[in-house]
Chains A and B, each alone.
Chain A
Amino acid sequence: MKKLIVPKGLDRRTVLKTGAALGATAVFSPPILTYAQGETPVKIGMHDPFTGTYAAEGESERRGALMALAEVNKKGGINGRKVELVTEDEGANAGIAAQKAHKLIEQDKVNFLMGAVSSATALSVNQVAHDKGVLYMVTGGHTDPVTGTQCHWTTFRICTTTYMLAAGLAGTLYKKFGGKWYFITPDYAFGHTLQGSYAKLLKGMGGTVLGNSLSPLGTTDYSSYLIKAQQSKPDVLVLLVDGQDLVNCMKQAAQFGLTKKFPIGGGLSELEVLRALPREAKLGWWTLEWYWDQPKTPHVKEWVAAYRKAYTDGSYPSARTWFGYAGLHAIALGANKAKSLESVKVAKALEGLELPPEVKLQPNKVYFRDFDHQLMSSEFPGEIIQDGKYPNVFKVADIVPGDKIALKDTGCKLDYPA
């Protein structure tokens, strides 16, 4: 029983080998760049998922932030000091994100934080940033409480709220097709919230909800819901299901010929998602938060060209790229305006701050609201081009200014230190 399984002597050797392997990992450490003598660089810490389901979105945000970083440093940095970006992978896990936020603040001694794709990570880092008194620029993460009931003075948000997503699309669909809508909603919390927002908006505009089918997560057969939807003869069929469920639902809707009878509407879509969707599911009316093809807006063409020059993998900048870009620029603009690196002063300077045309890259006025720190950026509702080849996958119907659709009363009470 107690005889050694491994030959004697191997133990020590393997221990040595393991040690060597661990030493080798140190070689992977990121190179530390040196800057102007005497001046320590200003550090911005970015957490985002670079692995897992949201890796593509996280990578887009990082690319945008790096583009902004190069521009800011070219123009003299923040208060004359170089800016450095430290990125950390959190794999869209809220606990890891909070841990990495601690790491960035305590170990890397960053002056500001930015990042987030998933809402849960935005909320967990929101908490850490507030506890530590560090300004936090949320790039993604749409859930309303970030700039609503759980808002903090430390937190600002680039991407729009869940409510704004619904509102941006609802108005366009209502104007174009009419007010009798049928919903197919995934039967869980987020689905209910989104459907609730839609129903409220629709009734506010004078429309009616013809029906709402709740489908369990992982449904493969949508025929019963689709038949019910067809019988109600709606102006618009709104599908709020997601992922593989959406693909299944779209496929069956097309088989039933419903997609030819009335328009299909959805919620948020993203360029990264549209690129990966199978043809069957590339249908209907959705909203993006930024689109690369804006022929009439100044600076957009140059910016897309700069992106394509920097990243030659054939990709185009998405809304996420813009979030990262605008997020880092906003921090620099705020700190330069405040002439300080203190989070309180920078936060005050950011309130009401309007993004300049070369940063906002969209036609409407884009600014941070002073009472909830939400950026008033636009929604880009439009239709998916089914046979469009990437990157021509979306036809923008309207660019809706954020401050026209955002709720005024978000339940936010900013808690500045006394």
Chain B
Amino acid sequence: MTRLISVGVMWIILILLPWWLPMIGGYTALGSKVLIYAIATMGLNLVLGFTGGLSFGQAAYFGLGAYGAGMTLKYLALSTPLAILIGTLVGGLAATILGPLVMRRRGIYFAMITIAIGQLFYFVMVRWNNVTGGEDGLAGFGRQDIHLGPAVIPISSSGDAFYYLVLLGFTVAVAIMWVILQSPLGHTWVAIRENRRRMEFLGIRVERYVWAAFAIAGFITAFAGTLNAMLFNFTSPQDLHWILSGNFVIMIILGGMRSFFGPLIGVIIFVVAQDYLSSVTGNWMTFIGMIFVCIVLLFPRGVLGIFNRRAEAI
């Protein structure tokens, strides 16, 4: 019951964001960015927090989604839904196809191979200059208004309308992930995280489940990537780089990787701190680092972990 109320309150806050954020010195694009990164990190957390696989190359699928959407709008068709669909498929299928390479590895080797695959896509985008714009990034496309019968949703001109599209995407992605985590599949992931060997002895084909987690995370991150490309109508190889992958992991750890909404809290802390501190001081990275160290030392389960722990103690 309390969970339902807190989720309800969260949604009301998110729906009203375009009104209250500018009043406290924010701007709507920042809200959109937070939600987009939240989708990506919550997707990644299916692998990282729930299945226990250290994926360090998730930005690759984020970036593939972004390039998929951007190139659809630029070269194929002027349609936002089509761009989202193609981008999500490109990133998701890449993760699905590469999953078998990843699923047998564990621990540090899992991290190494995911980072290597991630950098592979990064260099493809950097070097395939004619099509992707190389290091300069992909520009020259724009998100298109969505036509629903006679109604037109003006996302091309209105940042607020685009925010609501992102919020809708966030809601759908969250619902899908919630359903999956409540299903036997989700429970198997958690069991693999807790004791992989026991699951193997029980005759569970652990690798297939890891593959499924990796593939689903890929689709969800790629979906976030498509929205990210349309947020600024621009994408660059930095959206596939391992630094972004690392930032995703940091955001998840900040918020709490054992809790469902942990990554959202981590994204809010990271993105808002970055946005605010970097305007104030050139040494903003020091502060981000200090926040990270404090949280890891004081709240080893992330910020949301405190509440969960308290609930457990009671």
Contacts and interface: CB of A to CB of B under 8 A. Distances in A.
Interface of A: 2, 4-6, 10-11, 14, 18, 25, 28-30, 50-51, 55, 88-91, 93-96, 98-99, 102-103, 106-107, 119-120, 123-124, 126-128, 131, 143, 145, 149-150, 188-190, 192-193
Query: DSSP majority for the B interface?
Result: helix
Contacts of B235: 95
B139 A89 contact: no
Contacts of B150: none
Q: B33, B137, B274, B294: which has the most chain A beta carbons within 10 Å?
A: B137
Interface in B119-156: 126-129, 133-137, 139-140, 142
B232 A98 contact: yes
B171 interface: no
Interface stretch (B39-47, B95-103, B277-285): B277-285
A339 B29 CA distance: 32
B88 to A, nearest CB: 19
A2 to B, nearest CB: 5
A28 B234 contact: no
Query: DSSP majority for the A interface?
Result: helix
29 contacts: A2-B312, A4-B313, A11-B306, A11-B310, A28-B280, A28-B281, A51-B278, A55-B282, A89-B278, A89-B282, A94-B137, A95-B232, A95-B235, A95-B238, A98-B232, A98-B234, A103-B275, A103-B279, A106-B28, A106-B159, A120-B135, A120-B136, A123-B137, A124-B236, A127-B234, A131-B142, A150-B140, A188-B126, A193-B129
A395 B285 CA distance: 39
Interface string B288-314: 000000100010100000100110110
B169 interface: no
A91 B282 CA distance: 10
Contacts of B127: 188-189
Given A89-B284, A94-B234, A189-B129, A103 B137 contact: no
A280 B25 CA distance: 50
A29 B126 contact: no
A25 B285 contact: no
B22 interface: yes
Given A50-B282, A99-B33, A102-B27, A192 B129 contact: yes
A189 B134 contact: yes
A106 B233 CA distance: 17
B287 interface: yes
A417 to B, nearest CB: 12
Contacts of B27: 102-103, 106-107
A89 B133 CA distance: 24
A14 B27 CA distance: 30
Contact of A127 (B159, B233, B277, B294): B233
A91 B298 CA distance: 30
Contact of B139 (A30, A55, A127): A127
A261 B294 CA distance: 59
Given A95-B238, A103-B30, A124-B236, A88 B300 contact: no
A33 B139 CA distance: 37
Contacts of A193: 129
B232 A99 contact: yes
B136 A123 contact: yes
Contacts of A11: 306, 310
B279 A95 contact: no
Contacts of A99: 29-30, 33, 232, 275
A316 to B, nearest CB: 22
Contact of B238 (A94, A143, A189): A94
B22 A106 contact: yes
B310 to A, nearest CB: 8
Contact of A106 (B29, B137, B294): B29
B246 interface: no
Contacts of B231: 98
Contact of B309 (A4, A188, A192): A4
A2 B232 CA distance: 45
Contact of B285 (A5, A51, A98): A51
Q: B29, B133, B159, B306: which has the most chain A beta carbons within 10 Å?
A: B29
A131 B285 CA distance: 30
B300 to A, nearest CB: 7
A163 B3 CA distance: 60
B270 to A, nearest CB: 12
B279 A88 contact: yes
Contacts of B279: 88-89, 103
A192 B128 CA distance: 12
A150 B233 CA distance: 13
